[in-house]
Structure 1
Amino acid sequence: MLVSYNWLKNYVDLGNLTPEELAAKITKSGIVVEGVEYVAEKSTDVVVGYVESCEKHPNADKLNLCQVDVGDQKLQIICGAPNIARGQKVAVAKPGAVLPGNFKIKKVKLRGIESNGMICSLKELGIEEKYVPAEIAEGIFVFPSDAVVGESAEQLLNLNDAILELDVLANRADALSMLGVAYEAGAILNQPVKLPDVAVNITEELEAEDFVSVEVEAADLNPYYGAFVIKDVEIKPSPLWMRNYLMAAGIRPINNVVDITNYVLLEYGQPLHAFDYDKFGSDKVVIRRAAKGEKIVTLDEQERTLTEANLVITNGTEPVALAGVMGGASTEVTAETRNVLLEAAYFDSASVRGTVKQTGLRSESSTRFEKGIDPNRVKNAGIRAALLMQQYANGKVAAGTAEFDQLDRSEKIVEVDTWRINDRLGTDMSADDIALVLTKLKFDFKQEENIFTVQVPTRRGDIGIFEDMLEEVARIYGYDNLPFTLPQGEAQAGALTLRQSLKRKVNKYIQSTGLSETMTYSLTDAANIDRLISPEIKEKAVSPVSLAMPMSEEHKYLRQSVLPEVLRVLSYNNARNQANLGFYEVGTVFVSSESEISKQPDEKLRLSAALTGKWVDHSWQQEKKEVDFYVVKGIVEGLFDYLELDVAFRQAKLADMHPGRSAVLEMNGQTVGFIGQVHPSLAKKLDLKETYVMDINLEAVFEAFEDVPSYTQIPKYPSVARDIAFILDEGIHAGDVKELIESVGAPLVNKVEIFDVYQGANLEEGKKSIAYSLLYQHPDKTLKDDEVEESYQHILHAVNEKFGAYVRS
């Protein structure tokens, strides 16, 4: 809400407060003033001048030679504005004047003739171009005929005004009007509020109901509709003071009738709409729900297709306005308008909000209807506008109002007492203190000793219970006056949760390997929604979750895998000549087991990464090597070692992955992710070279993590190392053999590692050699050779029997 300081002074005495001081007081009382800006920079020596003559410059076709009376002297000024003419009263910057931007006016010669001063446009006086009326956007500003020659133009044009920008929250709809802000300032400063005049001189021979009737078919959405009739209006510019206030509030003046509706909207917080009565096409106003597929062309010249959820104003046949949002182009007030049908209505907030959401239209009117308006101001606002049209458009106001009225205007009653207020606030206020606060707020109340029965005015729709009144008392009494104490009771030092700590550990380790973190959208498109999904998620997810109203097709679904988005980042960087890349993301995926969503999908945290090109493990400072399956496998193994968890790898064929270079990750027999090479066909689509990925279910990892520091005693007894190499069929997995060795060799075999895999010369076709290093160690004694040999032979026999292997000589 933009509040003009000069306009506000018409309703409440602000004393000697500067705009900045007033802003500070309003902010302290609970409504934040985000800033104070002045309408224009300070200018000097700019006055009203009268153009006595205007002739063509003898040496320039597009310049005019003007003789201008500025009160204390007459000046010869050369002006190039297309709308300059004899008999006008204009803004003149005299020689020596300083305009906004520190632009100094001097005597100059233009095409050989002296010019003493400058005739100014509004833009040259510092007013933003978007607020300048269209008809004078390229010319100078002309004052009304009653402007006094020699008078300061700065004051006449309200250039010395300051604008307070209020951040009005949804509960304080009353502050979306000048009167609402006046009540707020009046309460803060303990000043009375002067309300506008609504005494209209009715034209007795005209009755509003003779010209129009009102029929409401949707009373639940429109409990009040009032129609006023103003005849024989004269469309012309609105008075200068009104144009000034509208521009200060961020609204561009149009003509007197439209400006008056906008002025009253800002003054009362009550939206109004003026129809051209002669274009209305009927003597009946019918308010109803729109028919499905019905169309209307709104004032912005856009055709809107309506639904049954939209409320429309019609002439009994076709829509002429979207209720509470925007009028229709067919009944717009123009320069030819002579008779006005003025609407003052109360529309349901939810209905207006739904129409705004559907159409994408948002206006000053809809903003106020959405937050709720004062039911007791609706008709008065219409009367106020009719009075202004009588004064400034020479209109004849018909007696009475054609209306439909089922509006509840009752005021809420809230009871407060001194003890409860002091108990909640920790204060020691007396009953007189509370009575003073209620008086400042302009609330009617009855007092019986320490108990107050407060009648809350309808302009304050945010107040309905004791706690609301408690807040009002606190803020007007002054938050600075409330006592403060240190918190009492036991305190607990802040710390990360276990989940937060584990996320940091994962990030710390993955970053140490040389991967860079990325953050991508949680939304994806149809092409990626079923791509690179981990097997354990694929088992649970029935169908992807789609958005009802996506912003674009690229962000239509909640992702089921993070990898497609990480690969998109990889592709983006690769296309910009970045060859050696590694990115990871710790992010959520969304899993739903329902074909039709009835509840929120499950959110699962995952670690996903993608690598291509050359890579170096920064934690070991190795030389760069081409990324392959074992690089990614090594990162995963290192992470699980860092978290002191066991992980197993099982070769698997997965969609969108290379069939021979992919594996699922298992922990305690459960699948927790996968690693491997992206299928070459998918890599080609993404314009990527050989690329490897990993995807890990961090929810399962965190659940298995034990938050107990581990400790293994340093062995007291020596270990014995034995190496063994098996000749196996190439289809046998090295990991399966390793598990069997660990099982049979327990408890003497302390560690088993693969150190060599060989295929080639001296081996039969279809065979491979895998070499294992076995570490024997007993925690309580030194092992004897025969014990080691016995265990070794058991292992040989078990492996040979299960896998048909034999020992390589």
Structure 2
Amino acid sequence: MLVPIKWLKDYVDLDIDIKDYVDGMTMSGTKVESVEEVGQNIDKVVVGKIIEITPHPNADSLLVTKVDVGGEILQIITGANNIKVNNYVPVALHGSTLPDGTKIKKGKLRGLESNGMLCSPEELGLNAESFPDGIYILDKEYPLGTDIKKVLGLDDKIVEFEITNNRPDCLSMLGIARETAATFGLKMNYPSIEVSGKDGDVSDYISVDVQATDLCPRFAVRVIKNVEVKSSPAWMQDRLLKAGVRPINNIVDITNYVMLETGQPMHAYDLNMLEGNKIVVRRAKDNEKIVTLDEIERILDNKTLVIADENKAIGIAGIMGGYNSEIKEDTKTIAFEAAIFDSVNVRLSSKKLGIRTEASSRFEKGLDAAMVQFAIDRACHLVEELGAGEVVGGMIDIYPTRKERRIMNLRTERVKWLLGVDIPVDKMKKILESLEFKVSGVGILEVSVPTFRDDVTIEADLIEEIARIYGYDNIPSKLMDTTFTQGGRNEKQRIREIVRDNMTAQGLFETCTYTFVSPSVFNQINCKAENPLRKAIKIINPLGEDQSIMRTTIIPNMLEVISRNYNRKITEGMFYELSKVYLAEELPLKDLAHERDTLIIGIYGDKDFFDLKGIIENLMDDLNITNYRVLPSNNESFHPGRTAELLINNKRIGYLGEIHPDVLDNYDIPTRVYIAELDFEEIVLQTNLNIKYKPLPKYPSIQRDIAVVVSEEITAGQIEEIIRNKGGKLVEEVNLFDIYRGSQIEEGYKSMAYSIIYRSEEKTLTEEDITKVHNKILNSLASQVGAILRS
């Protein structure tokens, strides 16, 4: 945002050094990017009056002038032909300097002395497009000899502010003036919006139909008749140029001036070009075409909002007007439009069409609907001030849902607690009121937030407003007046660290893969059509088809890691990943997805199922989980008969086993792969970190070994569970130390040898005590799994 200081002084009586000004504004939160001093290099260029013009005796293209520069009459030779006697012009004296560094000295032209130079707009550093060719003719009489910088405003300074997206109110002279007034404790002066002439009624000239009310919450129109299109006065052109806007004509310049002044973009339509004398605010038709003011044809779709008449689009809402309704020299009746358009729609339409304008840059940040009437009345006031036309009475203002001020409470004690400084309540009120908040109350202040401050939504925002205007440099640096608490990880974080440490200690490498996957992964891992894993969430704006859904399982990611490693000649490896899967209750999503932490372990090479099972058992020991079992199971991604499920307290936690050969073929893996995928959220619930230590046992233990013959389908876990259940508290430890299959055992059976350690916490066990429990275990093994004691 470019802010000429002379223009800023219309709204606030600013009398401060420019360095102090930019420092103060930056400290109060309105960051200054740069300061440009207009005409800084101009020296000894003054106002002169031409009192005589004669032809040069030795050159047909030159004129000899006598110029009064105040107390001295100079002879100056010029080649310009647009000057007349009594014109007031800028004169560069002998020894003067121009903006580009050119030095002017007296000399001779074709034999006659010339004691300076009459200056053109371009030579003074002005925009040559906005002025006629030749010498700059001043608009009125000025004291002769006056420094031209004061006359033309070339002694001005232009401050460039960096405006953040949350402060669109500061994209205006009034917004910067408001911040200036609050920062330096000055009074804010608003410009006049009074309109005297109000002949007729606007409804006699035009009607408005807002069809897309969701994209246009407010639309206002006023009409100007008997328009005289001409150049704007020099003061307006000067301000527009300094603010970075090229002057065009008085009507267009007024709309741009009001936009820069108030922050509210406006547009003017030639009423005679509107069919049916009607404005319609609607969505564009698919493939509807419009030629915009830059004379480029645009093709629109039904998501773009347009301003139209009865038959055609005449402008793209919030972005650019149409060439078919622009203001021309013969325009006699115009419609001023000021409106509010949906910020998201303007941003998307602007990006889609490749157009970015001063208007779109403001609309896309969200504007204040309350400013619409002020802006359109200000434009009408300027029309009368410049004599550009006659304002028709009345205004069409379609504003179905009025925007109201937000009411918030501010605890004064909270201000002190948060900032660490005791600011008087009266000072707080004064600061907020200087920013146009309305404040009442004492201990708890009731604050009415102005409609242009949508960024102020919570109590902390109000405190921030107080802090920045009070001055961050006025808040002393000190330690917080509070008690300190010791930080640390929560239980889930601690368990996560235990898991990572355990996996690393067992030789596994951690992987980190994308949570975006391809829909084809479900076919690759043999998921059936009805498998709930296929209920994946689609990404609205995917990077590509290969990353278009959120994963519901990490198995494909682990297989990709193993495939990549194996195909790079790494013949064995052990990996794990602790990350999230994303599960949906229903599709399309109505609620947020369930993000569940999942642990996956993958091993290949010189490894087998029992290596994988051992890794999980070691992890269970570290997490102090004892009531778990590994039982045979089935899963379409795993090898039939080589798959198991992990249960903790009889609740399935996940699957482990050898991956199906067809799945391995899909990933180009020619070796066996073993994977376990476990629900980490459930593991956390079953983990017991409250370990209680007990003293060493007082009484000795007794060890008994047994070998039983059982059918092949009986698992070691089943036998161990029976031993522990029937042995009760006396069984301290059960260890499987041998499995035998051979000539001494019938085919289809196996011998399993266990070491059982008995111990009592209350007494020394006798042979009778041990025999009683031991026989109970053997009888249960025989009855439940058909075990025969091997002699």
The two structures have a TM-score, normalised by structure 2, of: 0.68
Corresponding residue of 1:25: 24
- Quote the Cα distance in structure 1 between the aligned partners of 2:438 and 2:643: 77
* Alpha-carbon distance, 1:547 to partner: 5.6
Q: Counterpart of 1:25 in structure 2: which amino acid?
A: G
* Alpha-carbon distance, 1:355 to partner: 6.0
Corresponding residue of 1:57: none
Is 1:755 the counterpart of 2:737 in the alignment? yes
Secondary structure at 2:371 match in 1: coil
* Alpha-carbon distance, 1:601 to partner: 4.3
Corresponding residue of 1:644: 624
Secondary structure at 1:191 match in 2: coil
Distance 1:525-1:438 versus aligned 2 partners, 3 A rule = closer
* Alpha-carbon distance, 1:666 to partner: 0.3
Corresponding residue of 2:300: 304
- Quote the Cα distance in structure 1 between the aligned partners of 2:365 and 2:40: 36
- Quote the Cα distance in structure 2 between the aligned partners of 1:719 and 1:245: 93
Secondary structure at 1:166 match in 2: coil
Which of 640, 647, 658 is the matching residue for 1:666?
647
- Quote the Cα distance in structure 2 between the aligned partners of 1:751 and 1:430: 72
Corresponding residue of 2:33: 36
Corresponding residue of 1:502: 495
Distance 1:186-1:371 versus aligned 2 partners, 3 A rule = same
Secondary structure at 1:377 match in 2: helix
* Alpha-carbon distance, 1:603 to partner: 3.9
Q: Give percent identity, aligned residues only.
A: 26
Any idea what the Cα deviations from partners look like across 1:400-456, whole Å, max 9, x if unmatched?
378412559999899999x9868976957486x6786577557899x9999999998
- Quote the Cα distance in structure 1 between the aligned partners of 2:483 and 2:465: 32
* Alpha-carbon distance, 1:654 to partner: 0.5
Which stretch has the larger CA shift, 1-10 or 263-272?
A: 1-10
Corresponding residue of 1:163: 160
Corresponding residue of 1:112: none
- Decide whether the 8 Å contact of 1:589 with 1:604 is kept in 2: yes
* Alpha-carbon distance, 1:180 to partner: 0.7
Q: Counterpart of 1:266 in structure 2: which amino acid?
A: L
Q: Counterpart of 1:177 in structure 2: which amino acid?
A: S
Q: Counterpart of 1:708 in structure 2: which amino acid?
A: N
Q: Counterpart of 2:24 in structure 1: which amino acid?
A: K
Corresponding residue of 2:596: 604
Corresponding residue of 2:697: 715
Any idea what the Cα deviations from partners look like across 1:708-765, whole Å, max 9, x if unmatched?
2222432334444444444443333232223233334444432222234454666554
Corresponding residue of 1:739: 721
Distance 1:796-1:266 versus aligned 2 partners, 3 A rule = same
Q: Counterpart of 1:305 in structure 2: which amino acid?
A: D
- Quote the Cα distance in structure 1 between the aligned partners of 2:699 and 2:243: 93
- Quote the Cα distance in structure 2 between the aligned partners of 1:587 and 1:522: 9
* Alpha-carbon distance, 1:269 to partner: 0.8
- Decide whether the 8 Å contact of 2:169 with 2:453 is kept in 1: yes
Corresponding residue of 1:178: 173
* Alpha-carbon distance, 1:22 to partner: 4.3
Any idea what the Cα deviations from partners look like across 1:696-716, whole Å, max 9, x if unmatched?
223222222334222243233
* Alpha-carbon distance, 1:674 to partner: 1.7
- Decide whether the 8 Å contact of 1:415 with 1:453 is kept in 2: yes
- Quote the Cα distance in structure 2 between the aligned partners of 1:9 and 1:191: 11
Q: Counterpart of 2:361 in structure 1: which amino acid?
A: E
Corresponding residue of 1:190: 185
- Quote the Cα distance in structure 2 between the aligned partners of 1:467 and 1:496: 28
Q: How does 1:221-240 map to 2 (within 5 A)?
A: 221-227=216-222, 232=229
Secondary structure at 2:688 match in 1: coil
Which of 380, 392, 397 is the matching residue for 1:400?
392
Any idea what the Cα deviations from partners look like across 1:297-352, whole Å, max 9, x if unmatched?
58585533215xx75421112333343x32365548599997895643233x6x45
Which of 289, 309, 318 is the matching residue for 1:315?
309
Q: Counterpart of 1:695 in structure 2: which amino acid?
A: E
Q: Counterpart of 1:587 in structure 2: which amino acid?
A: S
Which of 131, 135, 146 is the matching residue for 2:136?
146
Which of 353, 372, 377 is the matching residue for 2:374?
377
Corresponding residue of 1:633: 613
Corresponding residue of 2:72: none
- Quote the Cα distance in structure 1 between the aligned partners of 2:570 and 2:393: 73
Gaps of 5+ in 2: 46-58, 60-78, 80-90, 104-121, 139-146
- Decide whether the 8 Å contact of 1:632 with 1:692 is kept in 2: yes
Distance 1:757-1:435 versus aligned 2 partners, 3 A rule = closer
Any idea what the Cα deviations from partners look like across 1:638-696, whole Å, max 9, x if unmatched?
11101110221112110212223321110011101122233333333334454332222
State the Cα RMSD in Å. 6.0
Distance 1:560-1:92 versus aligned 2 partners, 3 A rule = same
- Decide whether the 8 Å contact of 2:383 with 2:390 is kept in 1: no
- Decide whether the 8 Å contact of 2:25 with 2:183 is kept in 1: yes
Any idea what the Cα deviations from partners look like across 1:56-103, whole Å, max 9, x if unmatched?
xxxxxxxxxxx9xx97999xxxxxxxxxxxxxx9975669xxxxxxxx
Corresponding residue of 1:774: 756
- Quote the Cα distance in structure 1 between the aligned partners of 2:664 and 2:4: 61
Q: Counterpart of 1:497 in structure 2: which amino acid?
A: N
- Quote the Cα distance in structure 1 between the aligned partners of 2:739 and 2:390: 102
Distance 1:254-1:696 versus aligned 2 partners, 3 A rule = farther
* Alpha-carbon distance, 1:555 to partner: 5.4
Any idea what the Cα deviations from partners look like across 1:348-386, whole Å, max 9, x if unmatched?
x6x454565688668314225456552442314534786
Secondary structure at 1:742 match in 2: helix
- Quote the Cα distance in structure 2 between the aligned partners of 1:666 and 1:452: 58
Corresponding residue of 2:280: 287
Any idea what the Cα deviations from partners look like across 1:103-127, whole Å, max 9, x if unmatched?
xxxxxxxxxxxxxxxxxxx9xxxxx
- Decide whether the 8 Å contact of 1:4 with 1:164 is kept in 2: no
Which stretch has the larger CA shift, 211-220 or 499-508?
A: 211-220
Secondary structure at 2:300 match in 1: strand
- Quote the Cα distance in structure 2 between the aligned partners of 1:712 and 1:430: 61
Distance 1:355-1:573 versus aligned 2 partners, 3 A rule = farther
* Alpha-carbon distance, 1:179 to partner: 1.3
Secondary structure at 1:653 match in 2: coil
Distance 1:369-1:346 versus aligned 2 partners, 3 A rule = farther
Any idea what the Cα deviations from partners look like across 1:572-630, whole Å, max 9, x if unmatched?
666777665554333343444446655444443322333445xxxxxxxxxxxx34323
- Quote the Cα distance in structure 1 between the aligned partners of 2:323 and 2:716: 81
Any idea what the Cα deviations from partners look like across 1:158-181, whole Å, max 9, x if unmatched?
998553313353xx5422322111
- Decide whether the 8 Å contact of 2:699 with 2:763 is kept in 1: yes
- Quote the Cα distance in structure 2 between the aligned partners of 1:414 and 1:803: 74
- Quote the Cα distance in structure 1 between the aligned partners of 2:484 and 2:338: 55
Corresponding residue of 1:367: 364
Q: Counterpart of 2:244 in structure 1: which amino acid?
A: L
Any idea what the Cα deviations from partners look like across 1:234-271, whole Å, max 9, x if unmatched?
79x99576345228xxxxx6967877755543331101
Secondary structure at 1:305 match in 2: coil
Distance 1:201-1:243 versus aligned 2 partners, 3 A rule = farther
* Alpha-carbon distance, 1:211 to partner: 7.0
Which of 683, 689, 692 is the matching residue for 2:674?
692
